[in-house]
Structure 1
Amino acid sequence: MKFIAFNVREDELKYFEAWKKKNGVQVDVVKEALSTESLSKVAGYDGVLALQTGTFPKEMFAKLNEKGVTVFSIRNVGVDNLDLDEAKKNAIKVTNVPAYSPNAIAEFSVTQLLQLLRNTTVFRRKVAEHDFRWAPYVGKELRSLTVGVVGTGRIGRAAIDIYRGFGAKVIAYDVYPNPALKEEGIYVSSYDELFEQADVITLHMPATPEDHHLINAETISKMKKGVYIVNTARGSLINTADLVTALKNGHVAGAALDTYENESPLFNHDLRNQDLKDSTFSELLKLDNALVTPHVAFYTETAVKNMVYIALNSAKAVCETGTADTLVV
């Protein structure tokens, strides 16, 4: 049994080494992402592990089949950038990491919202300029707000627990309601109902074609004036140009974005001293009421270890038994 892992970061290496030592399985790691060119490296391996937010090569699953690979394990949750029909067609089992640390992402989303509510981005800039005046940047208390949670899977439920700890009123919407939460009566019947009631809208849902640009000019117009929007889920859920307009005109009081619809050429790259070619993103970065981070909500020691271990354990299980608890297709 032999595995190869692509796009491996320095912070993952110690977990790969520890797993190899414990399981006695050969795992070779490379820093480059999976591309048409790097696919040539998969020959001779039983399983391939990958982690990338951008696109995978179109011919990937056909090539994996051709080279004798039987399992493709991603070290993350989302499979929206994978052609699962092609995987099935080429008899490649695909696994993911459905829950590496829900709390990591939930905690981060609340942390970012608190910064928006207390205008810390503005005050950080003002203090750097030696302007120590307060007004007009009065803050809001979370306990006085209604938080609308969109998506009540593991991460959404963890966020709900945290928001309740602050004393906030929580409402939620999910196409597939959680039975326990349904009994508590926190669900509203539609996106529109949540948009109309919530002071804060926080997204914890997967990306689907149906929900592309869920947040756009039309849906923003249905929200309260002064709403806050938090997205630690998928960038494609928000039409960024429409959001920028709403942030500028004040309909949206603040937005915390840990993901961006065109993030692949930006996030996790060193672009210092370079002009950004994405004008919408550049405009977003100039706004005091926008808090942007480069897809790091998941990024804790616990989560990184779990992502590596679960992906490797899944690949090993498929090779040994033909299936795994984390099997996607």
Structure 2
Amino acid sequence: MKFIAYNVRPDERKYFENWSAKQDIPVKLIADEVKSDNLALAKGYDAVISFQTGTYPADFFDKLAEFGVKDVSIRNVGVDNLNLTAAKKYGIAVTNVPAYSPNAIAEFSITVLLQLLRQQNIFRKRMAENDYRWAPFVGKEIRALTIGIVGTGRIGKAAIEIYKGFGAKILAYDPYHDPKLESEGIYVDSLEELCGQVDVLTLHMPGSDKDGHLIDEAMIANLKDGAYIINTARGSLIDAKALLAALKSGKLGGAALDTYEYETPIFNHDLKQTGVKDELFNELVALDNVIMTPHIAFYTETAVENMVNISLDSAKDVIMTGKADTLVDLG
């Protein structure tokens, strides 16, 4: 049994090496993401371990089937960029890491909200110019707000527990109700209803084709004037153009975006020499009431270790038994 791992960052290497030594299973580490011109490196390996938020080669599963690969184990949650129909056609199992550290993302979402509420962008700019005045940029306190949680899975529930500590009022929308949260009476019947009642809308759900632009111009119109949007989930959930318009018009009080609809050529790339060519992105980043971060909500030591170990354990289980707790339903 042997595995090959793509898109391996320096901070992941020690976890791969430790696992490989303990399990006595070779794992070849490739720094580059999966591309058509390096896919052949997977020939002869039992499983491909990958972390890729962008596009996989169109013939990804075709080639892996040809090479004899039996499992693709991704080190993240989302599988919306994988052709699961092709995986099923070729009999290749797909596993993911459903929960590497819900607290990491939940904590981050609240961290960036606090920065928005206390207008940190403006104060950083003022201080850079040696202007240390306060007025008129008074902040808000979380305990005085109603927080709307969209998605009450592991991350959403972790966020709810933290917001409870702040003393905020919490409402939530999810088509699937958690029994404990149901007993607390926090659910509303629709996303439209949630938007109309909250001061902060924070997204904690996976992305899929049917959920594209869940937050569009019409849904933004349902929000209270001056509301805040937090997205640490998937960029595709928000219509970025509609969001920009609402921020510039004053309809929204602010937005914290750890993910962006067109992020693939931007996030996790060094663009110091070229800059960002996406004008929509540049307009968003330039606003004082926007905090943009490059998809780092997950990025803690605990999460990275869990992502590596769970993905490798899953691949091992699939190869040895044909099963794993993290198998993705291929339909």
TM beyond 0.5: yes
Q: How far is 1:191 from its partner? A: 0.5
One-letter amino acid matched to 2:123? F
Matched, 1:70 2:84: no
Secondary structure of the equivalent of 1:195?
helix
Which SS does the other structure have where 2:161 is aligned?
Answer: helix
Partner in structure 2 of residue 244 of structure 1 = 244
For the pair 1:48 / 2:22, whether they are aligned, the reply is no
Q: Offset of 1:121 from its aligned partner?
A: 1.2
Moved more, 165-174 or 208-217: 208-217
Q: Which residue of 2 aligns with 1:107?
A: 107
CA–CA distance in 2 between the matches of 1:209 and 1:268? 24
What is the CA distance between 1:275 and its match in structure 2? Answer: 3.2
Looking at structure 1, the residues matched to 168 and 60 of structure 2 have their Cα atoms a distance apart, in angstroms, of: 46
Q: Give CA-to-partner distance per residue, 1:186-236, whole Å, 9 cap, x none.
A: 000000000000100000001122221111211111110000000000000
Which residue pairs with 1:283 in the alignment? 283
The answer to whether the aligner puts 1:21 opposite 2:21 as a matched pair is yes
Correspondence for 2:255: 255
Cα distance in 1 between the residues matched to 2:148 and 2:210: 20
TM-score, with structure 1 as normaliser: 0.99
- The alignment's C-alpha RMSD in Å is 0.7
Runs of 4 or more above 3 Å deviation: none
Which stretch of structure 1 is more off in the superposition, 264-273 or 293-302? 264-273
Q: Distance in 1 between matches of 2:220 and 2:321?
A: 49
1:200 & 1:327 partners in 2: Cα distance?
A: 34
Partner residue in 2 for 1:305: 305
AA matched with 1:246 = A
Aligned to 1:31: 31
The answer to which of 122-131 and 210-219 deviates more is: 210-219
Aligned mates of 1:22, 1:281 — CA distance in 2: 44
Counterpart of 2:172, as a letter, is: A
User: How many residue pairs get matched?
Assistant: 329
Corresponding residue of 1:93: 93
Partner of 1:212: 212
Counterparts of 1:34 and 1:175, CA distance in 2: 35
TM-score normalised according to structure 2 size: 0.98
Tell me how far apart the structure 1 counterparts of residues 159 and 265 of structure 2 sit (CA, whole Å).
29
- Give 1:325's aligned residue: 325
Q: Deviations over 1:275-303 (max 9, x none)?
A: 32111001111100000000000000000
Partner SS for 2:48: strand
1:109 & 1:121 partners in 2: Cα distance?
A: 16
Runs of 5+ unmatched residues, structure 2: none
Residue 99 of structure 1 aligns with an amino acid whose one-letter code is: A
Residue 11 of structure 1 corresponds to which residue in structure 2? Answer: 11
**How far apart, CA to CA, are the structure 1 residues paired with 2:284 and 2:118?**
19
In structure 2, the residue matched to 1:171 is 171
2:197 aligns with: 197
Match of 2:231 in 1: 231
2:58 corresponding residue in structure 1: 58
Give the match's secondary structure for 1:299.
Answer: coil
For the residues of structure 2 that align with 1:300 and 1:276, how far apart are their CA atoms?
A: 26
Write out per-residue CA displacement over residues 53-104 of structure 1, whole angstroms, 9 at most, x where no aligned residue: 1011111111111100001000000011111111011000000000000000
Deviation at 1:32, TM superposition (A): 0.8
Q: What secondary structure sits across from 1:284 in the alignment? A: helix
User: C-alpha offsets along residues 291-319 of structure 1, whole Å, 9 cap, x if unaligned?
Assistant: 00000000000000000000000000001
CA distances 1:99-139 after superposition (whole Å, capped 9, x unpaired):
00000000000000000000011101101111111111110
- Deviation string 1:226-273 (CA, Å, 9 cap, x unpaired) is 000000000000111111111111111010000001111000111113
Spell out, residue by residue over 1:33-70, the C-alpha distance to the aligned partner (whole angstroms, 9 max, x if none): 11111111110100000001101111111111110000
Query: For residue 86 of structure 1, what is the amino acid of its counterpart?
Result: A
